[in-house]
Amino acid sequence: MGGVTGLPADDQPPIPTHRRQSFRRWFADKGWRHVVAWIAIAFALFPLLYIVSASLNPIGTLTGSNQLFSAISPRNYERLFTDPAIPYGTWYVNSLIIAIVTSVVTVLLCALGAYAFSRMRFRGRRFGLMTLLVLQMFPQLLAITAIFLLMIQISDVFPAIGLGTHAGLIMVYLGGALGVNTFLMYGFFNTVPSAIDEAAKIDGAGHARVFFTIMLPLVTPILIVVGLLTFIGIIGEFAIASVILTDPATQTVAIGLFQLVSGFQSQNWGVFSAGAILAALPVMVLFLLSQRYIAGGLVSGSVK
């Protein structure tokens, strides 16, 4: 009888056999990628394991934390909230308020600027875009002396937004909000067909209605990306905050933790590690909640 194809047994095509790939060939083709991946994972996890180990070590010194998880105790975390000399709860709340308010207002300002550059045609439009990019070459740190002197003068006129206030620090942060974020949003706004808002204008909608009810829902990914990046940058910012916030009751986590380890032969590295881990939790939670928007927001905004 013939095979399954109806051909005589002698005329059946040979069944292909898969030769087992040698280890050398597999390693040259794919294996080296696994090695590189595991090295990168270990390189990323080791600092995290070290700081977790230091936060659980009751000794509190760097030399006593050389061996990972040699001692485990919640003492350092308890000191953050029970030691009167360490008002960590106040620092934490201050950081969250400043970061959240700055992130929300930054997203709104950048979205308004990106909408104007994308949908409106006016003299100086291209020059304005290039100016925003050029200004990002000079970080705010270069103007820290001028910012300090300016805040002193503002304190004499408007104490509510002067030196030592959260509002003053937020205003300083917002002064550098426009820039790369606006340009990134501008590219994302360009991916939205202009026919959508033109149809809304025919129905009688103005720029404000088009912006808030049509455009913003369509560009949600880039709004979340910009908000997340701003939040991460503000929650760990130290240089400008240390100059503006002179009152210990208004200081942030970054300033407070620095003071714990800035002294000579400081013994507070365990408390510092515990505080740093708790300060990273909001960033981690926001990242996990918004990760599905991050790739789309960054890629879509860079294709035009």
Distance, CA of 51 to CA of 68 (rounded, Å): 9
Rounded-to-integer distance, Cα 195 and Cα 120, Å: 14
Tell how far CA 199 is from the center of its chain: 36
Q: Return d(Cα 77, Cα 215) in angstroms, integer.
A: 45
Residues 112 and 44 both lie in one domain: no
The alpha carbon of residue 272 and the mean position of all alpha carbons in its chain are separated, in whole angstroms, by: 21
Residue 146 lies in a domain: yes
Q: What is the CATH number of the domain that holds 221?
A: 1.10.3720.10
For tokens 């025919």, the residue is: 202
Residues 143 and 208 in one domain: yes
Number of domains within the chain: 2
Q: Does the residue 1 lie in any domain?
A: no
What mean pLDDT do residues 86-99 have? 93
Asked whether residue 253 is assigned to any structural domain, the reply reads yes
Whole-prediction pTM: 0.81
The pLDDT value recorded for residue 254 is 92
Report the percent of the chain where pLDDT is more than 70. 86
Mean pLDDT of 166-190: 86
Q: What local confidence, expressed as pLDDT, does residue 107 receive?
A: 93
In a domain, 287, yes or no: yes
218 and 146 fall within a common domain: yes
What CA–CA distance (Å, rounded) separates 294 from 230?
A: 13
Give the domain extent around 172.
Answer: 83-300
Rounded to the nearest angstrom, the gap between the alpha carbon of residue 144 and the centroid of all alpha carbons in its chain is: 23
Check whether 134 has a pLDDT greater than 70.
yes
Of 73, 94, 114, which closes a domain?
73
Statement to judge: residues 171 and 198 lie in one domain: yes
110 shares its domain with 34 = no
> How many helices, marked H, and strands, marked E, lie in the chain?
15, 0
Q: For residue range 37-65, list pLDDT tens digits in order.
A: 899 998 888 888 888 888 888 876 766 66
Note whether residue 240 is domain-resident. yes
> Residue 151 falls within a domain, yes or no?
yes
Of 73, 104, 136, at which residue does a domain stop?
Answer: 73
Residue 238: closest CA among 249, 221, 251: 251
Position 260 in a domain = yes
Say whether both 34 and 183 belong to one domain.
no
